A and B are shown apart, each in its own frame.
Chain A
């Protein structure tokens, strides 16, 4: 006779068996490294060094008091403040347009969708090289065109007052396509009969219709897009690394680039870990706030 486990224990074991591997993986691959980075951020560890010393909160104090550290934090916040709303509003407009086009010409809508999605599908590093050529002060297309119209050209990537905004424009260009696809999916999911019902209730087409039906029903999509866009914008790195290396004179330094620079160019692994933790807390807080505040206002059907 075989011994039978009590049903509750058996179920618990099955659960453990099913959830276990994923949990272990998460602990080992995500929580472990985060913990290691958190610990390192309290040391002066140098990449490749034989030892290290505990220096408490010094790395964090430096990050928030050193002008270069502050610059990275502020630059990132400015970048996010531009890219997040701009890329979302533009993406929504484009999605509404493409959705409308799809109702009378599916092929054209497909072409438009592909065109807007291209920046997402392409390698950003390769795309950045193209932007670098476009924004070249002497031979770039932008300044050539400006020259034809008599407007003086700008140093898009080497003027300290402009460079961050140039990168933001590239950031928007890169994000719009991705957000558009998400909004399109949201739009397609809105049932047609709701529009019919709204029409019968006397809602006029256009703005009225958008405000009473489309926008509330896009709520969950918008929340998701908001979270994803924020995380993407905070992560800005490739364009900085390929186009400006944070320069000139730290004018386009951002958190993730600073993290890379401190850790892998300057070999200050301890300090880079502190930057990583700050970045981590930023993104985590932002996501929690977004979920906490907005979740309550979003209609899920």
Chain B
């Protein structure tokens, strides 16, 4: 009896000792709890188990990425920023532009050694600006095609023989549209990120290398705009919002739904037993495949603390969360693709998962093959111009001449961004 008591005493002393050992406490911000809450807890717990000297405090999450950045900016004004934060991949530049994100170059050190840990140049590019690393991608998604196989079959097509060019896709969508008054053939959002994806498919870029000029009025850009125009004119595509599109697709009244691969889990759940959702890679339209890239959505981690001791701890956490173990947790619990190559190369991590999830495998293979940066337009009007792009695409879908409109848009955007 005495022995047991003694053992308990020793154990509790040890427990107290190890609790005391947590001499660095990091605060962590994230957004989008219905997507991330579980992942954040799993990763944080696994990290603290391996690093008992660091304690992670997860702050109450923001509703979505936009709200998350708003909160961080307010906290920056009040000097109450968290130490580490998860952001939308297109939003870390907002913090970088305001001098809030810590440059990670000194922590990375030897680039070759870092890249050997699964951080390929393509993946690194997602968090780089002018050659400097400010963020590390933590999850990734690109534009993909969701197909309702039953509607496609009714229109005389098949998923196995799905068109691999836009001409084929448009004619198939036109046939699906003709199936009934309340059946739509195809839908893709009139939205900056989707447009950048189509542009990338034609081998174009929205801006030049040093971001001093708009380049989406190039041949590739005009082709991407023509695609939107044809989707409207020939396939009768409507301009309803993303929510309405997912409802239509889930109800079986939309044949081809083109959107982010991160929606996979929700789209499959929405369709339920009605039909088997098939995810296919986006059409690659350019003849020279090496020019093709798809802007990558998802999330990234930034370091915000200025305290060297906390920075060292934060860097250990960032590496863990974006390393193979973190990436595996992300993939298994969200629709996102991993942002660490090791986890893809080494079958022991996700081999079994991909064997069960063909759709995920195709989505993630596309990320691995074509992922590229999601361009954020520079300056104060950077976010505002993305809505101008969306409005121009609505014009094009509704019948405006694509070449004229896209050239006019480029001029508008240049003026807004004070280029040239």
Question: Which residues of B have CB within 8 Å of A266?
Answer: 381, 383-384
Q: Verify if B395 is at the interface (C-beta below 8 Å from A).
A: yes
**Which stretch of A97-105, A133-141, A197-205 is in the interface?**
A133-141
B348 to chain A, nearest CB (A): 43
Known contacts being A47-B70, A248-B239, A267-B73, is A136 close to B391, with CB within 8 Å?
no
Known contacts being A136-B244, A138-B254, is A265 close to B383, with CB within 8 Å?
yes
A136 touches B241 (CB 8 A): no
A247 touches B238 (CB 8 A): no
Q: Verify if B253 is at the interface (C-beta below 8 Å from A).
A: yes
Q: Verify if A249 is at the interface (C-beta below 8 Å from B).
A: yes
From B66, B77, B238, B391, contact of A48 by CB (8 A): B77
**Which stretch of A25-33, A82-90, A152-160, A230-238 is in the interface?**
A152-160
Residues of chain B at the chain A interface (Cβ within 8 Å): 66, 70, 72-74, 76-77, 94, 98-100, 181-184, 190, 238-241, 243-244, 247-248, 251, 253-254, 380-381, 383-384, 387, 390-392, 394-395, 398
Q: How far is the CA of A214 from the CA of B398 in the complex (A)?
A: 51
Known contacts being A47-B70, A248-B190, A267-B73, is A153 close to B241, with CB within 8 Å?
no
**Which residue on A lies nearest to B67, using beta carbons?**
A264
Question: Which residues of A have CB within 8 Å of B387?
Answer: 250, 261
From B98, B190, B253, contact of A138 by CB (8 A): B253
B72 touches A155 (CB 8 A): no
Q: Verify if A174 is at the interface (C-beta below 8 Å from B).
A: no
A138 touches B383 (CB 8 A): no
B238 touches A158 (CB 8 A): yes
Q: How far is the CA of A267 from the CA of B66 in the complex (A)?
A: 10
Question: Which residues of B have CB within 8 Å of A48?
Answer: 72-74, 76-77, 94, 98, 100
Q: Verify if A143 is at the interface (C-beta below 8 Å from B).
A: yes
A136 to chain B, nearest CB (A): 6
For chains A and B in complex, what number of residue pairs have CB atoms within 8 angstroms? 95
Question: Which residues of A have CB within 8 Å of B243?
Answer: 132
- The 16 listed contacts between A and B (C-beta, < 8 Å) are A44-B380, A48-B72, A48-B77, A48-B94, A48-B100, A132-B244, A133-B247, A136-B247, A138-B184, A138-B254, A139-B182, A139-B247, A155-B239, A157-B240, A265-B66, A266-B381
Question: Which residues of A have CB within 8 Å of B73?
Answer: 47-48, 267
Q: How far is the CA of A75 from the CA of B251 in the complex (A)?
A: 33
Interface centre among B74, B239, B254, B392 (most CB of A within 10 A): B239
**Which residue on B lies nearest to A143, using beta carbons?**
B182
B99 touches A147 (CB 8 A): no
What does the 1/0 interface line of A5-39 toward B look like (CB < 8 Å)? Answer: 00000000000000000000000000000000000
Q: Verify if A221 is at the interface (C-beta below 8 Å from B).
A: no
A137 to chain B, nearest CB (A): 6
B386 to chain A, nearest CB (A): 9
A139 touches B395 (CB 8 A): no
Question: Which residues of B have CB within 8 Å of A47?
Answer: 70, 73-74
B241 touches A245 (CB 8 A): yes
B66 touches A138 (CB 8 A): no
B235 to chain A, nearest CB (A): 15
B180 to chain A, nearest CB (A): 9
Question: Which residues of A have CB within 8 Å of B244?
Answer: 132, 136-137, 157-158
From B251, B383, B384, B391, contact of A139 by CB (8 A): B251
Q: How far is the CA of A170 from the CA of B270 in the complex (A)?
A: 27
Question: Which residues of A have CB within 8 Å of B390?
Answer: 247, 249
Residues of chain A at the chain B interface (Cβ within 8 Å): 44, 46-50, 132-133, 136-139, 143-144, 147, 152-153, 155, 157-158, 160, 244-245, 247-250, 261-262, 264-268
B241 touches A157 (CB 8 A): yes
B248 touches A248 (CB 8 A): no
Q: How far is the CA of A250 from the CA of B391 in the complex (A)?
A: 7
Question: Which residues of A have CB within 8 Å of B183?
Answer: 138
B383 touches A137 (CB 8 A): no
Q: How far is the CA of A270 from the CA of B76 in the complex (A)?
A: 17
> 7 smallest A-B Cβ distances: which pairs?
A48-B73, A249-B391, A249-B394, A158-B240, A138-B253, A266-B384, A138-B182
A219 to chain B, nearest CB (A): 44
A268 touches B74 (CB 8 A): no
Question: Which residues of A have CB within 8 Å of B398?
Answer: 160
Question: Which residues of A have CB within 8 Å of B100?
Answer: 48
From B70, B76, B182, B241, contact of A244 by CB (8 A): B241
Known contacts being A139-B248, A155-B240, is A264 close to B70, with CB within 8 Å?
yes
**Which residue on A lies nearest to B249, using beta carbons?**
A138
B238 touches A137 (CB 8 A): yes
From B182, B239, B380, B381, contact of A153 by CB (8 A): B182
Interface centre among A132, A143, A244 (most CB of B within 10 A): A132
Q: How far is the CA of A265 from the CA of B398 in the complex (A)?
A: 26
Q: How far is the CA of A48 from the CA of B93 in the complex (A)?
A: 13
Q: How far is the CA of A206 from the CA of B154 in the complex (A)?
A: 62
B401 to chain A, nearest CB (A): 16
Q: How far is the CA of A244 from the CA of B239 in the complex (A)?
A: 11
A267 touches B247 (CB 8 A): no
From B66, B98, B181, B184, contact of A49 by CB (8 A): B98
A247 touches B394 (CB 8 A): yes
Known contacts being A139-B182, A147-B181, is A155 close to B238, with CB within 8 Å?
yes
Q: How far is the CA of A158 from the CA of B245 in the complex (A)?
A: 11
Q: How far is the CA of A144 from the CA of B251 in the complex (A)?
A: 14
Question: Which residues of B have CB within 8 Å of A152?
Answer: 181
